[in-house]
C-alpha cells in the first residue's frame, strides 16, 4: 500500500459543474453549423482539449472546414462558454468538494488542479477557490491533453510529490487513462463512476469517507478496487 501525499483534482465535472456549460456551448455551436450533436457524443469530449473536441464534433459534419474556419469555430464556442460562465458562483461547486479539500489540508496533503481547460483560473476565481490549491496546472501549461499524462506529471512536479504518491480525481475516461499512464491512483466520479480501471469509484466526493479516499492506492488486482456505486451508508466528511 503506497501512502498518498498529494491529490490532483480534475476541474470540469469534478470540482465544479462546468461540464454542463461545455455541453451547452458545444450544442449551440453544433446547432448553428447544422452538425448533429447530443449528450452521448458529448461524453467523448470530457477531458479532451478544445480543438480536439471540435475535431470530434466535426466527425458528423458533411462539410470540410479549413484550419482558419476551425479556429474561428473554437473561438466562437469559447465565447458562448464564457458567456455561460458569467452565472458561475460558489454554489456550483459539486457536493463533497469543499469538505474534502478541508480534510486533505488538515491531514497535511498537497492538493492541486490538473485540467485540460484554458479557462481554469477564471473558473476557480468565480467559485471562490482561486487560492485553495498548492498548484494549478491547466491547458495553458501543457502541449498534449488527456489521455496523455503530461498535465498530471506536471502537477505532481509542482507540488514536489512523486507520481506514485499522487491520487487523481477524475470524471472522464480520458482523465482516468492519463492518471494511470502517469503511474497514479484514480478515484472516478460522475461520468467515470464505475470505471473498471479506477481504484475507487463513487457518484461524487460526498459519498467517499476520508479514510477510503486516502487509502486508495495503485493496485493491479481487481479485488482491491472498491466501488461505492450502490453504497447507501457511507459517512460524509464533517
Question: Exposed, middle or buried, 170 (CB in 10 Å: 0-12/13-18/19+)?
Answer: buried
Residue whose C-alpha cell is 503530461? 150
**40 or 63: whose CB is closer to Mg ion?**
40
> CA-CA distance, 12 to 22, in Å (whole number)?
9
Kindly state the number of chain residues that form the binding site for ligand BG6, as judged by CB under 6 A. Answer: 18
185 binds, among ligand BG6, Mg ion, none (CB under 5 to 8 A by kind): none
118 binds ligand BG6 (CB under 6 A): yes
C-alpha cell at position 124 = 476557480
**80 or 218: whose CB is closer to ligand BG6?**
80
Binders of ligand BG6 among residues 201 to 230 (CB under 6 A) are: none
Q: If we measure between CA atoms, which residue out of 18, 16, 17, 22 comes closest to residue 37?
A: 22
Pick the stretch among 7-15, 143-151, 158-166, 177-185 that binds Mg ion (CB under 5 A). Answer: 7-15
**43 or 203: whose CB is closer to ligand BG6?**
43
Dihedrals phi, psi of 184, to nearest 5 degrees: -110, 155
> Using CB under 6 A as the criterion, what x/- string covers residues 140-179 for binding ligand BG6?
--------------------------------x-------
Q: Report, in Å, the least distance between residue 175 CB and Mg ion.
A: 6
Chain-centre distance of CA 62, in angstroms? 31
C-alpha cell at position 94 = 459539486
C-alpha cell at position 157 = 512536479
Binding site for ligand BG6 (CB under 6 A): 11-12, 22, 45-50, 53, 78, 115-119, 139, 172
Amino acid at each position: 500500500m503506497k501512502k498518498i501525499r498529494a491529490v490532483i483534482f480534475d476541474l470540469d465535472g469534478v470540482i465544479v459543474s462546468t461540464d454542463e456549460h461545455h455541453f451547452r456551448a458545444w450544442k449551440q455551436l453544433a446547432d448553428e453549423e447544422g452538425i448533429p450533436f447530443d449528450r452521448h457524443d458529448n461524453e467523448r469530449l470530457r477531458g479532451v482539449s478544445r480543438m480536439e473536441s471540435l475535431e470530434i464534433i466535426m466527425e458528423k459534419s458533411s462539410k470540410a472546414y479549413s484550419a482558419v474556419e476551425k479556429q474561428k469555430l473554437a473561438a466562437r464556442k469559447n465565447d458562448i462558454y464564457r458567456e455561460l460562465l458569467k452565472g458561475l458562483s460558489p454554489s456550483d461547486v459539486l457536493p463533497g468538494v469543499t469538505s474534502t479539500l478541508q480534510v486533505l489540508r488538515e491531514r497535511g496533503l498537497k492538493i492541486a488542479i490538473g485540467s485540460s481547460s484554458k479557462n481554469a483560473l477564471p473558473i476557480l476565481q468565480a467559485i471562490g477557490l482561486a487560492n485553495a490549491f498548492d498548484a494549478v496546472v491547466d491547458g495553458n501549461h501543457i502541449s498534449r491533453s488527456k489521455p496523455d499524462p503530461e498535465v498530471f506529471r506536471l502537477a505532481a512536479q509542482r507540488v514536489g510529490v512523486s507520481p506514485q504518491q499522487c491520487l487523481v480525481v477524475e470524471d472522464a475516461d480520458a482523465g482516468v487513462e492519463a492518471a494511470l499512464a502517469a503511474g497514479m491512483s484514480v478515484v472516478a466520479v460522475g461520468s467515470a463512476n464505475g470505471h473498471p480501471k479506477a481504484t475507487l469509484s463513487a457518484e461524487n466526493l460526498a459519498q467517499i469517507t476520508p479514510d477510503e479516499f486516502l487509502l486508495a492506492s495503485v493496485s493491479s488486482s481487481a479485488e482491491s478496487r472498491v466501488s461505492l456505486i450502490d453504497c447507501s451508508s457511507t459517512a460524509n466528511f464533517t
